[in-house]
Amino acid sequence: EAVIETRALGKVYSPGTEAEVIALQAVDLRIGRGEFVAIMGPSGSGKSTLMNLIGCLDTPSSGQYLCDGVDVATLDAEERAALRLEKIGFVFQGFNLLPRMNALENVAMPMGYANVPREERLQRAREALASVGLAERAGHRPSELSGGQQQRVAIARALINRPPILLADEPTGALDTKTGEEILALFKRLQAEDHTVVLITHDPDVAAHCDRVFAMRDGELHEQEVAA
Ligand code: ADP
Ligand code: ADP
């Protein structure tokens, strides 16, 4: 079954004004559990807009989005935020870690709102850090970690609520090639554990690691042929 399903999904910014932008046009997308998907395309083509919709950060102007079977349009803002916490983990190019918190505290962060007692929260954060190979770095602040280690902390943070979907915006963009390959290997392992991974990338070598590749152009999404 599809974990991410969109039907004629569209997004218009500032509709009916001089500043109107049609950012997304009638996107039909079905992504199943355990798929590893890349979205490519030039700047301004609509990639962030689509990711914001898939991530339940924004609402569409037209069409439908089913997030793990839930029709997001039926939810109010609070319910949408709760769905996001449960279903989606986010990973960014710049890691987005809080500099004054150590690795463990950064990983435990997204549960702050989720009504999980502090001890359980920290225990889960320890497990998440161990699962990305960073158990012994729990007490380090981001500035004391390498770029690849910081990204692994960010991935552990994305995993803390055990979401089925991981969304990553240029996750290897700030890393050297070898470190980027390690991060991609980690995503592959998460895929094998049944996570659905969707990443935005400008790098064809990164997209080559994915099962399916989509190209965004002028708000339209087209699936590419992938060499076997
Ligand atoms: P990228 O292409 O790397 O995703 P952008 O500069 O396109 O970065 O977008 C960064 C953020 O700014 C996104 O969250 C996007 O939604 C927002 N954004 C982009 N273009 C505009 C705009 N014209 N007006 C307001 N916000 C915008
Ligand atoms: P990409 O991520 O591929 O760079 P975006 O989704 O950020 O593309 O942008 C798609 C189009 O929508 C661009 O023309 C951009 O300027 C516009 N846009 C993005 N976010 C906003 C926003 N918040 N308000 C107005 N226009 C936006």
63 and 8 in contact (C-beta within 8 Å)? yes
Atom in ligand 2 nearest the alpha carbon of residue 41: 3
Nearest CA among 13, 90, 37 for reference residue 201: 37
Query: Tell me: the pLDDT tens digits for 83-117?
Result: 999 999 999 999 999 999 999 999 998 876 667 88
Query: Tell me: the pLDDT tens digits for 18-49?
Result: 999 999 999 999 999 999 999 999 999 999 99
Atom in ligand 1 nearest the alpha carbon of residue 93: 3
Complex ipTM over 0.85 = no
83 and 75 in contact (C-beta within 8 Å)? yes
Among all bound ligands, the one having the nearest atom to the CA of 13 is 2
Tell me the helix, strand and coil percentages in the chain, rounded to 5. Answer: 35, 25, 35
One-letter amino acid of 103: A
Strands, sheet with 21-32, edge to edge from the N-terminal-most edge strand: 21-32, 2-13, 62-67, 70-71
Length of the chain: 228
Query: Tell me: the pLDDT tens digits for 155-206?
Result: 999 999 899 999 999 999 999 999 999 999 999 999 999 999 999 999 999 9
Ligand 2 contacts CB of residue 45 (under 6 A): yes
Nearest CA among 132, 142, 158 for reference residue 97: 142
Ligand 2 contacts CB of residue 23 (under 6 A): yes
CA distances from 152 to 96, 163, 176, 208 (A): 12, 16, 14, 21
